[in-house]
Amino acid sequence: MSLTLSDILLNLFTLLFALLAYMFYKKYAKTAEENLKMIKSNSDREALIKKEALIAAKDAVKSERDRLVEETKERRLEFAKNEEKLIKREDSIAEKLQLIVEKENKIDKQKDILAEKENELSLLIDKETQELERISAMSTDEAKTLLLNKLKQDLQQEANQLIKENEIKIKEESDQKAKEILTTVMQRCLIDQVVESTVSVVNLPSDEMKGRIIGREGRNIRTLETLTGVDLIIDDTPEAVVLSCFDPVRREIAKTALEKLIQDGRIHPVRIEETVEKAKAEIEQKIKHEGENAAMDMGVMNLHKELIKILGRLYYRTSYGQNVLKHSLEVGHIAGMIATEIGANAAIAKRAGLLHDIGKAVDHTQEGTHIELGVELAKKYGEKEEVIHAIEAHHDDVSAQTIEAVLVKLADAISAGRPGSRRDTLEIYIKRLQKLEEIATSYDGIKQSFAVQAGREVRVIVQPEKFDDASSAKLSRDIAKRIEDELDYPGQIRVTVVREVRVTEVAK
């Protein structure tokens, strides 16, 4: 039988397929065997790991159990010890409670004893009180009143004595400290003692000069008076012409111009006008120069130009014979040095001291007191609030709120109150003495009072039967307080109360 080509191809294909199937089988079988071996190996390894983990877990459980057993034993021992301590503490507390109960019983017994003794003492006091009332012929209330009055009197005397001792001690200490400060300040203050006054009299070489000053039909004197605003008084006073004007600067201009005319000898209206203009320029320059010198001498910087000019005008202003510019310089120096001694602001104290009387330069041309005008000028030209307050408070128009204001007030009193600094008018002096005596004699029981030592001391003689030592001390304090409140005076005024008892008997 013959095979066809298709049959051959089919057989080849079948054989090839069988061969491939065999090869695939062989490969899969080998892979499956290897996988089985690997799975078996992994299973054995996992079993070993699980076994080791089980063994480790058993060991950990055993170790933890042993630790817990040991810890339980320790805690049991600790609990046993604590229980033993608690038992001992309870026994101790019980003993203490027993002692407390015993002490309370003793205290109760002592209270009963004290109550009995208090009753006995009360009975004895009542008995003694009745006996004392019988002996003294006074009731208990009367005796209490008498005793209280006596105690009150004793306490008053002791209080007055203590007050007096403390006053003396404080005064000694404060006086000593104040003297040290003021002595240091006054030693360093080089301002001269001021007693000068602006001169208003021009001396003439001869009486013939009066006629030349008057001029034909009075034209010279009228021209001079018109240009300067000063009244020229030409009278019988030999070789002198009196200048009268409320403005010291104008009076100084007239004085300078007249002296120049007298020296030149040519006196006529044209020459008078030229001379007055020159005198005005000279005085204005001198005013500026004096203001600058004052500011430089005080060490005050950044002072407004107009304030410097106004300050220089004080060179021609006097108060009770004291030159106001020199007084201002003195106040500034004293206030600054005291401020340095006590640690205050020396720059503010100096500046305020220099400007405290600045209002006196314009008070004759403007309405208001020199304090009001001074405050207005200081505000106008940009002074600090501390300086303005010190100017406003230096005569107690307002209460001083800063230490610098107090120092300016103090320095002003020192400069004005020291001997020879000012000239009091006789009328003011007499009124002050009369007021001192009037205050002293206004109290009951005063025999006489005398103002002595130029008003620096008041001696008060009292009726001895109306005053004792304590009331005399109180009277002196009351009089001194009234003098402080009602009078203005420089320095201090001492009040001395004299209580004198005289007993006279005649031997026969």
Q: What is the largest CA-CA distance in the chain?
A: 214
Q: What angle do CA 104, 106, 109 make, to 5 degrees?
A: 110
Give pLDDT tens digits along the chain (508 positions). 455 777 777 777 787 887 777 777 777 666 777 777 787 777 778 888 888 888 888 888 888 888 888 888 888 888 888 888 899 888 889 888 898 998 988 998 998 899 888 888 888 888 877 777 777 666 767 777 777 877 787 777 777 778 877 777 777 676 666 666 655 665 555 444 443 444 468 888 887 888 888 888 888 888 888 888 888 888 777 878 888 877 778 888 888 888 888 888 888 888 888 888 998 898 888 888 888 888 888 888 888 888 888 888 888 887 766 788 888 888 888 888 888 888 889 899 999 999 998 888 887 777 888 888 989 999 998 899 999 999 998 887 888 889 899 889 888 887 776 555 555 555 676 778 888 888 988 888 888 888 877 678 888 989 888 888 888 888 898 999 998 888 877 667 889 998 887 777 888 7
Percentages helix, strand, coil for the chain (3-state, rounded to 5) are 70, 5, 20
- Rounded Cα distance, 326 and 42, in Å: 122
Query: Kind and range of the H or E element at 73?
Result: helix 5-136
- Rounded Cα distance, 261 and 232, in Å: 14
Query: Kind and range of the H or E element at 450?
Result: strand 446-452
> What torsion, rounded to 10 degrees, do the Cα atoms 497, 427, 240, 279 define?
90
Report pTM.
Answer: 0.49
Domains annotated for the chain, with CATH where assigned, are: 201-417 (1.10.3210), 426-498 (3.30.300.30)
